[in-house]
Structure 1
């Protein structure tokens, strides 16, 4: 157990967050229990966050900022904290997501993490490992805050119809996930197209991939395997994957037809009755 008196703020973003929380709490003359009462959390939780034994949440950070008058410090730190908790091999991808102005992704087997619901995330991450599932779920969901930034991201996803039928979690989880996807039908910045079974052989048969585009930097293609990611800025790879993506979009259903198919599968396969 890390002792609060030897917490090193330079050890990690989580340690720095805990150090700053403690510093501001003590400057306000509050005990952990008193701050917990103000925030509607337990004093024990405050202590665990201060000693880097528990991940803070966005809600906790916002409440603490208001109570301690930090000027939004903790809310700004939370993105760094969450990113630092990602698997080491995936942190570069999170950086790409945070900087990209446009992301184009083709997904064969499951919904992309940036559009996953909490229940779907828990089912995916808990398939083989239930340890720290709450924290790991919060870390993945925190990536979705990139949609809230001032320079708004344009996101395109071509999703194989197979992903609509692959039951991840239970039927209720899938209903929630498919309803979430259908809700983007009229959102010009988050676009979901379904590649139907009827498309047959297609340009994405070699696997899922992402293309990240930036304002001033070269585009990057990202693919991944088991526990490893493969980002590349090789011009030939970028050209090849961009062409593949164009063909996938051409073979996919329109945004409107995709939303209709998603709702139909949601109703027929997972028992949701849509008016």
Structure 2
């Protein structure tokens, strides 16, 4: 199935209709299907009405129970994969107001406990100084003071002892000169400070040696439930467990090339000194 961002919402209703049609074709009731799949009848009803987007594994269970196979089963699984993928383009986010996006992220952070951030080209808002936050959205027209305030307010989640954060940054992300040198030096100091928070791990992948990997995107993994992948024009939100696990595995591979703890802080301090000298 061709990926069409604008069709993702439609795929949810198409999936619901297809699963309902398959059940009726088999001559089964919702109760019988629910028992066969070890689900509740309410869950089956919500899936068929489109109120609940089923995980890929749920769809596989339903299709197996109904004996569906061949091209039709493949089409339904493709619909399920699209239904578990959401596209958020930058233009829509800007029209709604970037502060609304901050509210969404805060809600996601409230219900998640384990966070993995792979930062390929920039420093994320949770790690940023106010100056860096302001510069990161400088190209967005209008008054962004509310968005900046909410980005900084979200940083309080870092000291919540019930949550754990692992930030993995490339050297390029850390040293990209988004700000004047002295302000970049302050940003380095901010990273050093955050790295000392007990429930935070912060590592940097230096541009040295041999790294036989080719990361393409910035991404974040929330527990095992969700992965978000940044592109130049928006973000993909992936809920399929196979997608989420794939990004968790990518993260674990990249971790091997990073420096952590005191070695990481020494590197950040060296870069801070370089930026400071550039200012003088």
TM-score (ref. length: structure 2): 0.59
| Larger Rg, first or second structure (1 or 2) | 2
Structure 1 position 94, deviation (Å): 3.2
Is the 2:159–2:199 contact (alpha carbons within 8 Å) kept by the matching residues of 1? no
Q: CA deviation digits over 1:130-182, x for unaligned, max 9?
A: 52132221122122122354x53211101000122211121122111110101
Alignment of 1:12-91 (within 5 A): 86=98, 91=103
TM-score (ref. length: structure 1): 0.60
One of 108, 119, 127 as aligned partner of 1:115: 127
Structure 1 position 255, deviation (Å): 2.1
Give the SS at the match of 1:251: coil
Query: 2:279 matched to 1:267?
Result: no
Aligned to 2:236: 230
Higher relative contact order (CA 8 A, sep 6+): 2
Residues in 2 aligned to 1:124 and 1:100: alpha-carbon distance in whole angstroms: 25
One of 146, 149, 152 as aligned partner of 2:157: 146
Give the SS at the match of 1:155: strand
Residues in 1 aligned to 2:156 and 2:97: alpha-carbon distance in whole angstroms: 15
One of 216, 219, 238 as aligned partner of 1:206: 216
Give the SS at the match of 1:248: helix
One of 163, 174, 183 as aligned partner of 2:184: 174
One of 137, 142, 160 as aligned partner of 1:131: 142
Change in 2 beyond 3 A, CA 1:88/1:134: closer
Query: 2:251 matched to 1:240?
Result: no
Aligned to 1:55: none
Structure 1 position 248, deviation (Å): 1.0
Q: How many residues align?
A: 184
Aligned to 1:96: 108
Q: Which has the higher helix share?
A: 2
Question: Any runs of at least 4 consecutive aligned residues in structure 1 with deviations exceeding 3 A, and if so which?
Answer: 84-94, 199-204
Unaligned runs of 5+ in 2: 1-95
Alignment RMSD (CA, Å): 2.5
Is the 2:99–2:150 contact (alpha carbons within 8 Å) kept by the matching residues of 1? no
Q: CA deviation digits over 1:175-230, x for unaligned, max 9?
A: 111101012343221221001101544546121111111xxxx4211112345332
